[in-house]
Amino acid sequence: MIDLKLLQKDFDSISKKLMRKSVDEKLLEKVKIKFEELKEAKANFETLQAAQNAMSKEFGMLKRAGMVHEIPKLKAKVDENKIRIADALEIQRLRQEELEALAMAIPNIPDEDVPDGEDENDNIEIKKVLTPRKFSFTPKEHWELAEQNGWIDFERGVKLATSRFSVSFGMGARLERALINFMLDFNRQRGFDEVSVPALVNRKALEGTGQLPKFEDDLYKIQDQELFLIPTAEVPVTNLYQDEILSVDELPKRMTAYTSCFRKEAGAAGRDTRGMIRQHQFHKVELVSISTPGESNIIFDDMVTCASDLLKALELPHRLVTLCTGDLGFSAAKTIDLEVWLPGQNTYREISSVSNTRDFQARRAKIRFKNGKKNELVHTLNGSSLAVGRTLVAIMENFQNADGSIDIPKVLHPYLGM
């Protein structure tokens, strides 16, 4: 959640920064009104409390002055004021809740070095890594290769569930498992501790990382329960330390996890509905870090490098791009996407997204660390390492042969008994 004290202290300046993310001006105006209402409620409570303290002192004065007969009148006033104080405190509580409810819909402030822009077309390329292979034939798209080799069956996925589900067979299934194990091993060797987390989380966890309340329509909810299927391992792994105060000696925490992920993709109808690019259920290996504010930039760079080196090990050409403000996620202060080259589509497509959320998620999830005598908010970071389905797509398209057969990257051979 955005720092409300900072927003109130410098409303115009922070609002301008938020407008870079196209935050609704009406929402900010409502927040400004709530600030005033809360300020008024607090002032009213403090006035009543001051009057109560003054009347309490009068009891002793009346006794010393021998005016005991006035005490019942004063007691009646005190009792009446107590009721007013209780009412004022309740109003103050309600105003605070209303303000925080509005604040939950405000995204994170983008870093100063994030470029302005409206959408993905305004993202800035940082660099390309590895040179795409030149084919002596017209490369096929992954769904053709998947069907030809019997790796993925899209029709049976629809039969078992609905559109945008699939079933992997034979080498396709084995390759998915090999990729998961390879990614986890690779990340562990880079200093990320492996964790295994639930695929279901409660509302508080999703609020903590920023998926709720804004993106509820994209989530699969369990009927009659406040439980949701996770959209990414970022949610349970980050929330492992929800409402905790960590020792500075425990930081940074660097974790990696494999999970299945579930998204309705409610706003993505008509985009990439064929094949494996945008599925309702997909496998992903995630990186999550929790750090002190002073370390988060270094860890962010390390996470980007880790994901890029993973793609290099798989011999997959890719590029790094900085997301512009219009393409930046709700919780992110800064994001670098890794886009893998897909020769069948003749374009680069996102395969990993690494974000620094600064203290935005930590404030929502109440994750702090002890810095001397003071408790401070941590910084949280997350990144795909990698989306397994999209990695499989990239392998199929980049390692295809003229006859439609597919070679396997050498680093995966030990995982496949080759």
Mean pLDDT over each residue of the chain, to the nearest integer: 94
| Radius of gyration for the chain, computed over Cα atoms and rounded to the nearest angstrom | 27
Instruction: Check residue 166 and report its DSSP letter.
Output: -
Say yes or no to pLDDT of 130 above 60: yes
CB 352 within 8 A of CB 382: no
Look up residue 406 and give its two tokens.
């597919």
Q: Which residues pair with 283 in a beta bridge?
A: 260
pLDDT value of residue 363 = 97
Say yes or no to pLDDT of 139 above 70: yes
CATH fold, domain 120-416, is: BirA Bifunctional Protein; domain 2 (3.30.930)
* pLDDT tens string 3-45: 999 999 999 999 999 999 999 999 999 999 999 999 999 999 9
What's the rounded Cα separation, in Å, for the pair 68 and 304?
77
What's the rounded Cα separation, in Å, for the pair 118 and 88?
45
* pLDDT tens string 174-193: 999 999 999 999 999 999 99
When pLDDT is averaged across residues 256-265 and rounded to a whole number, the result is 95
**Collapsing DSSP states into helix, strand and coil, what is residue 180?**
helix
When pLDDT is averaged across residues 156-167 and rounded to a whole number, the result is 93
Task: Give the H/E segment covering residue 339.
Answer: strand 334-342
pLDDT value of residue 60 = 77
Task: Cite the active site residues.
Answer: 263, 278, 350, 353, 390
Nearest alpha carbon to residue 355 among 195, 196, 193, 232: 232
* pLDDT tens string 334-352: 999 999 999 999 999 999 9
Look up residue 224 and give its two tokens.
């009659």
Q: Is 234 annotated as a binding residue?
A: yes
pLDDT value of residue 269 = 52
pLDDT value of residue 194 = 98
Q: Is 162 annotated as a binding residue?
A: no
Look up residue 317 and give its two tokens.
């050409």
Q: Is 352 annotated as a binding residue?
A: yes
Q: Is 263 annotated as a binding residue?
A: yes
Domain ranges of the chain: 4-103, 120-416
CB 264 within 8 A of CB 280: yes
Helices (H), 126-228: 142-149, 154-160, 170-189, 203-209
Half-sphere exposure of 96 toward its Cβ, with a 13 Å CA cutoff? 9
Number of H helices, E strands in the chain: 12, 15
Dihedral Cα 235, 237, 239, 244, nearest 10 deg: -170
Helices (H), 210-284: 234-238
Is CATH 3.90.226 the right assignment for the domain spanning 4-103? no
User: Which long-range contacts (C-beta less than 8 Å, at least 24 apart) are formed by 89-94?
Assistant: 89/45, 91/41, 91/44, 91/45, 92/38, 92/41, 92/42, 92/44, 92/45
What's the rounded Cα separation, in Å, for the pair 214 and 203?
12
Say yes or no to pLDDT of 267 above 60: no
Q: What are the strands, taking DSSP E only, across 161-296?
A: 167-168, 193-194, 200-202, 227-229, 244-247, 253-262, 281-291
